[in-house]
């Protein structure tokens, strides 16, 4: 699919900033949304300061887009009401704008943490039941469910990317399995935006080609991108990289601990 006008929510964020620089030369127009003010950096950029909870503002900003890359929202554990507000309601407003416009393709940023309780020895497929490792994972499971609903009921083509640990380089042992390099993040986003509109709904893990990865990579038929980076190239710089992983431990690592979520629940 050719890239005409592409809108990016959460454009000031880590992934949004990288994708913005990488893709703006490949699109006719790039519409950038964030709740913080952005500066125009190229002639084909348009910026909007928008709170994704404001449905009317979202619809106005996305008018005329051919595709949306929805990266906006809370990106970590938080009280459930905040996650529902930012992640679920914000996603609903994006999908509603796509339905009403109509915008044929929406790419939703999901997370590996929708299935963080699968054990490290298990190669997880996106078709398996969700096993969220916390409230953030629950909110992203709801995001995927909304995407499925809008694909099935309203004919919006939706691709969900379960994003790994986005970093310049892996920082710990878990990230030797979960790392998503900036180059591969751009590759997955580009492929999802360009995928044929005949793909009504798909969920794919966006993770680099890590030797130790927990998750199944998409096939060429599902998403036409093969990651190129491997966290193993950085293993010599990671403490305890040679210590065998516990095959029964949750893939989420510390995110699966009760304390990680309990601090966000009212005592």
> How much is the average pLDDT of 177-192?
98
In the predicted structure, residue 193 carries a pLDDT above the cut 90: yes
* pTM over the 0.75 mark: yes
Q: For the chain, give the percent of residues with pLDDT over 70.
A: 99
pLDDT of the residue at 221: 87
pLDDT of the residue at 267: 82
Predicted confidence band at 266 (pLDDT cuts at 50, 70, 90)? confident
Question: Looking at the 3D structure of the chain, how many domains does it have?
Answer: 1
Task: For residue 170, tell me if it sits in a domain.
Answer: yes
What CA–CA distance (Å, rounded) separates 166 from 144? 19
Task: For residue 267, tell me if it sits in a domain.
Answer: no
Show which residues are catalytic.
136
Task: For residue 219, tell me if it sits in a domain.
Answer: yes
What is the overall mean pLDDT for the chain? 97
Residues 51/73, Cβ–Cβ less than 8 Å? no
Beta bridge partners of 34: 49
In the predicted structure, residue 1 carries a pLDDT above the cut 90: no
What CA–CA distance (Å, rounded) separates 123 from 148? 23
Task: For residue 249, tell me if it sits in a domain.
Answer: yes
Beta bridge partners of 216: none
Residues 189/23, Cβ–Cβ less than 8 Å? yes
**Which range of residues forms the domain containing residue 135?**
5-262
**pLDDT tens digit string along 195-239?**
999 999 999 999 999 999 999 999 988 999 999 999 999 999 999
Task: For residue 106, tell me if it sits in a domain.
Answer: yes
Q: Domain of 63: which CATH number? A: 3.40.50.720
**pLDDT tens digit string along 40-83?**
999 999 999 999 999 999 999 999 999 999 999 999 999 999 99
Task: For residue 240, tell me if it sits in a domain.
Answer: yes
Q: For the chain, give the percent of residues with pLDDT over 90.
A: 97
């Amino acid at each position: 699919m050719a890239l005409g006008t592409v809108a990016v929510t959460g454009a000031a964020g880590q992934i949004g900033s990288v994708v913005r620089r990488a893709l703006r030369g490949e699109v006719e127009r790039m519409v950038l949304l964030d709740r913080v003010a952005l500066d125009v950096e190229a002639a084909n950029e348009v910026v909007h300061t928008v709170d994704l909870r404001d449905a009317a503002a979202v619809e106005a900003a996305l008018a005329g887009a051919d595709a949306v890359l929805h990266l906006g929202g809370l990106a970590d554990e938080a009280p459930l009401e905040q996650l529902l507000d930012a992640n679920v309601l914000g996603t609903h407003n994006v999908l509603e704008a796509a339905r009403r416009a109509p915008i044929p393709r929406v790419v939703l940023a999901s997370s590996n943490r929708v299935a963080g309780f699968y054990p490290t020895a298990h190669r997880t497929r996106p078709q398996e039941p969700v096993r969220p490792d916390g409230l953030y994972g629950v909110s992203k499971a709801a995001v995927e469910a909304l995407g499925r609903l809008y694909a099935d009921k309203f004919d919006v083509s939706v691709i969900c990317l379960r994003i790994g640990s986005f970093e310049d380089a892996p920082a710990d042992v878990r990230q030797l399995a979960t790392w998503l390099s900036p180059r591969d993040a751009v590759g997955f986003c580009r492929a999802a935006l360009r995928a044929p509109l005949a793909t009504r709904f798909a969920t794919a893990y966006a993770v680099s080609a890590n030797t130790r990865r927990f998750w199944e990579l998409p096939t060429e038929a599902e998403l036409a991108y093969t990651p190129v980076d491997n966290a193993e190239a950085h293993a010599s710089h990671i403490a305890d990289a040679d210590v065998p992983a516990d095959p029964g431990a949750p893939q989420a690592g510390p995110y699966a601990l009760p304390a990680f979520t309990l601090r966000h629940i009212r005592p």
